[in-house]
Structure 1
Amino acid sequence: MPGAPVADGGGLFPVVVFSPGLGGVRTQNTAWAEELASRGYVVAAVDHPYDSAAVVLSDGRTLRTRVTATGDRAKDRALAEEWTRTRAADLRAVLTRLERLERGEAEGRLAGRLDVGRVAAAGHSIGGAAALQAARQDRRFDAVVDLDGFPHGPVGGRFGQPVLALTQEIGRGTDPDYLPRLTRVLERSDATSYRLTVPGAAHLTFTDAPLYLPPVPGIVGSLGRTEGHRITAGATLSFLDATLRRTPVDLPAALSAHGEVTVHRPEGAR
């Protein structure tokens, strides 16, 4: 509900900074964000200027999207890497702004209530790629949730945060580079990470799309109107509870209730 008061009782809330899909807007995962908020997380969802379909600034100006594919595979990969870098910088800037809010250097209803020592970067599609890149660049992020995001950009170099990657059902139409590239990224983490492949899921299953788009399996998957939301929120909460709140959770067991789980452990770990 717009303008809802912050829950009383004191205490600080862990933070999730969220980046939507290419050309998407911050409201595209509202149901997921509301579920996380109901469990005590603050979700800061981002409209990316000149990327999101439209961004209305505080002075009333509207910035339209400038992202568009060329049809040339190599050029589009290069553009995607550029857009991912920009988005990752946006996520880092948002976290800096939230830290200022927590220190009382900016006004807001959440001032003094944010636990900026427990923060996850999250995103859908290219937003997931941006979340991965932001975390690799900035250790202020403690965990990553990648909702079916192809990892654009370099995959070399190790990083310290655990990752939960939710992926669509893999089939003949899936980009053959997707899983190998994602696997290389997950194997570079010095923390245990997880890939959850959801049978019956399509790319938009992990958004609000199944709640309002026609039930076309190729677009929204075959899980029905609400099952995709239940899985996405349930898996995310299990992961965040374990990584940000340090709640004792058997993550492989919790995640396996939603699909096929692959566990990526750090080198040298048993």
Structure 2
Amino acid sequence: MKKIIRMAAGLAAGLVLAGGQVAVAAPPAAQVGAEGTPGSAVRLELPRPTGPFGVGRDTLHLVDPARKDPWVPTADRELMVSLYYPAVAGTGTPAPYTTLDEARALLVDRGELGRHVTPEQVAATRTHAREGAVPRRARAPYPLIVLSPGFTLPRSSLSTLAEDLTSRGYVVAALDHAYESDGTTFPGGRLLGCSACTQVFPDRSIGRVSDARALDVTFLLDRLTGDRPAWRHSRIIDARKVGMAGHSIGGASAAAAMAADRRVDAGVNMDGTFFTPLPETGLGGRPFLLLGGDPALLPPDLEDDSWAKAWPRMDGWKRWLTVTGMGHPGFTDWPVLGDQVGYAHPETPLSGTRSERITRAYTGDFFDRHLKGLPAPRLDGPTAADPEVVFERR
């Protein structure tokens, strides 16, 4: 069984300055086609969430004064958090997708995509979340799901999934881990680049990323659910029901966080190599979903056996699914946004529409089953409605 280990291409495209701040070169200008064809005039938009609830969003900056950053040891560890929550529809104001500086940094590292869209287009992508929205009252607090992005990718890359999970009745905390993305805007106008990139590849210590993120999750849970919570709406979180999902190294970090913190009840790894092996003692019987890309799309030099090694150590409910035609970027926003400008990523031939529907449906159903106790027959076996989804038998 092959599985994707692609981390990121073109990591040196942005010039990393002292302290991990990044100067970003302008990407190539987007192609402007004839009238009616994709080009710089297209207004990008995230898919509409499938759940019944409105989506609110807050932004939280967290600093851990008790822990130095693993990539820049002179700095305290910092996180930027997008907190999505079920909200009263129509309240608040539209939330931005990303900052312009973040969009510029992203397109420098995404190569060909920069010929189809401009940073201004990416930053102006229409979301369905609203800032300052009124939280929706409920009989019980909402389960919490933590989302961790792929290496070099910002938290905004999982916005489609975050909005959909929220619309289904979850609080979602999407994380930017300092110095691990192409460029993330922190308070004070600081754009922090990928200092980790220059450290983990030369000595093959990529497991340090998932180890560090596991500690980030413990800190986050302390700050969201502790005695003095950092978020103004923390009262709507059910601290007894916590899940985590991530893409690429973010997915591997979900398992690392579960191994390190018993508060994480269920995890999803979307196409991420386990650079940090699962403990021999397992995950304490907690459920885990492996959701991977199409193994047939991988060249032989990207073969990986970390899922096969991890599988026996998953000692609770588990599934190993692969998606025919979906490549590594397929679990993020990029294919669905690429469809809107006529750009098909060569690594993921499955359409953006199908990619995002499958990602949202299987991830959402997994958490519905294990955090809410709802039926999720989609997870019981192959279905004609999703012919691309393959249940691996081990």
Q: What TM-score, normalized to structure 2? A: 0.60
| Higher gyration radius (CA) | 2
Aligned to 1:96, what secondary structure does the other structure show?
A: helix
Shift of 1:21: 0.7
Match of 2:184 in 1: 55
Amino acid at match of 1:47: D
Match of 2:102 in 1: none
Map 1:1-270 → 2, pairs under 5 A = 1-68=130-197, 75=202, 77-78=204-205, 80-100=206-226, 103=227, 105-106=228-229, 108-157=231-280, 158-160=282-284, 161-171=286-296, 172-173=298-299, 177-178=303-304, 180-213=305-338, 215-219=343-347, 221-253=348-380, 256=383, 257-258=385-386, 259-262=389-392
Q: Contact between 2:252 and 2:273, CA under 8 Å: does it hold in 1?
A: yes
**2: distance between equivalents of 1:154 and 1:85?**
10
Shift of 1:166: 0.9
Amino acid at match of 1:173: P
Shift of 1:15: 0.6
**1: distance between equivalents of 2:214 and 2:173?**
14
Q: Contact between 2:256 and 2:278, CA under 8 Å: does it hold in 1?
A: no
CA change 1:238–1:29 in 2 (3 A) is same
Higher strand share: 2
Q: Contact between 2:150 and 2:248, CA under 8 Å: does it hold in 1?
A: yes
**1: distance between equivalents of 2:276 and 2:230?**
36
Q: Contact between 1:197 and 1:260, CA under 8 Å: does it hold in 2?
A: yes
**2: distance between equivalents of 1:251 and 1:129?**
23
Shift of 1:84: 1.7
Match of 2:103 in 1: none
Is there any run of 5+ residues in structure 1 with no aligned partner, and where? 265-270
**1: distance between equivalents of 2:265 and 2:377?**
19
Amino acid at match of 1:247: L
How many residue pairs get aligned? The number is 256
CA change 1:175–1:3 in 2 (3 A) is farther
Shift of 1:27: 0.9
Amino acid at match of 2:145: V
Q: Contact between 2:277 and 2:310, CA under 8 Å: does it hold in 1?
A: no
Shift of 1:76: 5.2
**2: distance between equivalents of 1:16 and 1:71?**
27
State the percentage of identical aligned residues. 32
Shift of 1:156: 3.9
CA change 1:7–1:93 in 2 (3 A) is same
**1: distance between equivalents of 2:295 and 2:236?**
41
**2: distance between equivalents of 1:193 and 1:61?**
41
> After the TM superposition, which of the residue ranges 208-217 and 15-24 deviates more from structure 2?
208-217
Amino acid at match of 2:390: E
Shift of 1:241: 0.8
Q: What TM-score, normalized to structure 1? A: 0.86
Amino acid at match of 2:152: G
CA change 1:234–1:7 in 2 (3 A) is same
Q: Contact between 2:161 and 2:359, CA under 8 Å: does it hold in 1?
A: yes
Is there any run of 5+ residues in structure 2 with no aligned partner, and where? 1-129
Q: Contact between 2:224 and 2:231, CA under 8 Å: does it hold in 1?
A: no
